[in-house]
Amino acid sequence: MKDNREFDVIIYGASGFTGQLIAEYMATRAAEETGLRWALAGRNADKIAAVVAESGLPADVPVIAADSADQDAMNALAARTKVILTSVGPYQMYGSQLVQACASNGTDYVDLCGEPNWMREMIDQHQAAAQASGARIVFSCGFDSIPSDLGVHFLQQQATAQLGKPLPHVRGRVRAMNGGASGGTVASMQATMGAAMKDPAVGALLKNPYGLANPGFDGPKQPSSHKPSYDEGLGSWAAPFVMAVINIPNVHRSNFVQGYSYGEDFTYSEMLLTGPGEKGEKIANAMAVPSLTGKGDTPQPGEGPSREEQVAGNFDLLFVGENDAGDTVKVSVAGDRDPGYGSTSRMISEAALTLAFDNVETAGGMWTPASALGDKLITRLGAHAGLTFNVE
C-alpha cells in the first residue's frame, strides 16, 4: 500500500533551524536518489516557502500546511507518504498527534527526539497500533542516538565475528565533540527537566537505564555515568556526558527489542573523556555541573551554530567491549560535521531514505535506529553522511 502513496518522504518542520538543514541536504540527495519524491510540511506554508527561496531549494518542491495540534491534519499528512521525518520539538509538546497518525496509517516515522519520558509514553500508547499497521516508528535518529546505538551494534557484530558471541560489558567514551547547540535542543532539554520537576515518575524514568526497555525487566546494576571518574583502561578522566540520559536507555532498548541479543547481563556506560592527570580531573569536575538555565547566551529556538561552525565541527566516539575473561574489542564512530546539526541533518535524512528505499524487513512497532535499520543505515551513513565506523 505504501508504494501507491504520493511521496516517499515528507519533512515536517522545514522552517525550523534543523529542518532547514535537513531540507537542504535532502535536496542534494534527491539529485542522487533516482525517483525520490519528497515534500516539505509545517504549520506555516509561507515560512516554508521563504526557506525554499532563501536556501535555493528546488522551486517545485511541494509545500504542505499542517498544524501538529490538529489530529485530522496529521492523519491526512501521514496518509500521503511512505515516511515522515520530523524535526518539530519539543516532541512532548508538538509530536504526539503525528506519532498517532503514523502508527494508525502504517506510515514510517523518524525523529530527533531526546526526550525519554515522551518516548516511553508513545511506546506504551502506540506499540499495538504500529504493529498492526506495519508502521516503523524510529525515535532518536540524530546525534542522539545514532552514533551510540549503532556504535554498540557495530561493536557487538565485531565481537561475534572475533569471539563467537557478544560482549557483556560496553562503555562508550566521547573522545572529541566540536559544535554548538541550537535553541531547539535547549528547549527540549528544558521541557524534559520541567516535566521531571512536576512529576516524580518522570524523574525516576530519566534515572532508569532500562526506562525504554521492558518495564518489568530487572537487569544488572549499571555502571555510573553521572559523576567524574578515572578510566584506567584508557588512561583518562571522564566526565558525565549530557546525551547519556537518552543514549543509554536507547542502547538498552535495542538490546531488549532484539531479544536481548547483547545478553541479559549487558551493561553500558557513556561518558566524555577529559584527559589525564590533574588537568583532566579538573575539567571533568567542572563539566559535572552543566547549566541549562535558559539565561545569558543560551540560544533561542531558531538559532544555532553558523554554517562555518557546522562544517568545522566533528565528533569521535570510542566503544570498548569486554568480558570477564579479559577479551576486548574496540570500535569507533566518527563524523566530519558539527554533531548536533551538520551531521544530524544528514543522519536523520539517511534514516528516512533507508526506510523508503532499502527494503527494510523490520516489522511494525516502536524501534531504535540500530534495531530497525542496523547495517543498512551504517552503509548509507558511510556512503553519504560523512560517518566512519572502524575497528581499532
Determine the pLDDT at residue 294. Answer: 41
What is the phi-psi region of residue 259: left when phi exceeds 0, alpha when psi lies from -120 to 50, beta otherwise? left
Q: How far is CA 180 from CA 190, 243, 299, 310, 312, in A?
A: 17, 14, 9, 8, 11
- What pLDDT does residue 185 have? 66
Q: Is 128 helix (H, G, I), strand (E, B) or coil?
A: helix
Distance CA 125, CA 332 (A): 35
pLDDT of 296 over the 50 cut: no
Phi, psi dihedrals of residue 12, rounded to the nearest 5°: -100, 125
What are the tens digits of pLDDT across the range 224-246? 898 999 999 999 999 999 889 99
183's grid cell: 535553541
User: Any idea which of 98-107, 214-223, 300-309 has the lowest mean pLDDT?
Assistant: 300-309
Average pLDDT over residues 213-227: 87
Instruction: Characterize 226-248 residue by residue with b for buried, 16 or more Cβ atoms within 10 angstroms of its Cβ, and e for exposed.
Output: eebbebeebebbbbbbbbbbbbb
**Residue 137: strand, helix, or coil:** strand
The pLDDT value recorded for residue 323 is 97
CA distance 172 to 332: 9
State pTM to two decimals: 0.94
Contact criterion met (CB below 8 Å) for 52 and 63: yes
Residue 217 pLDDT grade (very low, low, confident, very high; cuts 50, 70, 90): confident
Question: Which residue stretches of the chain are H helix?
Answer: 17-30, 45-55, 71-78, 91-94, 96-105, 116-133, 146-163, 183-198, 200-207, 244-257, 277-287, 307-312, 344-357, 369-372, 374-384
CA distance 187 to 183: 6
pLDDT tens track for 337-378 = 999 889 999 999 999 999 999 999 999 999 999 999 999 999
Question: DSSP code of 300?
Answer: P
pLDDT above 90 covers a percentage of the chain that reads 78
Q: What percent of the chain has pLDDT over 70?
A: 94
**Confidence at residue 104, expressed as pLDDT on a 0 to 100 scale:** 98
Predicted pLDDT at 303: 67
pLDDT tens string 152-211 = 999 999 999 999 999 999 999 999 999 865 566 667 777 787 887 888 887 888 889 999
Amino acid at site 315: F
Check pLDDT > 50 for residue 293: no
Q: What secondary structure, in 3-state letters, does 161-227 show?
A: HHHCCCCCEEEEEEEEEECCCCHHHHHHHHHHHHHHHHCHHHHHHHHCCCCCCCCCCCCCCCCCCCC
The predicted structure's pLDDT at residue 290: 59
Mean pLDDT throughout 109-134?
96
Q: Give the pLDDT of residue 265.
A: 95
Per-residue DSSP letter, 153: H
Residue 46 has pLDDT above 50, yes or no: yes
Mean pLDDT over each residue of the chain, to the nearest integer = 92
pLDDT value of residue 353: 98
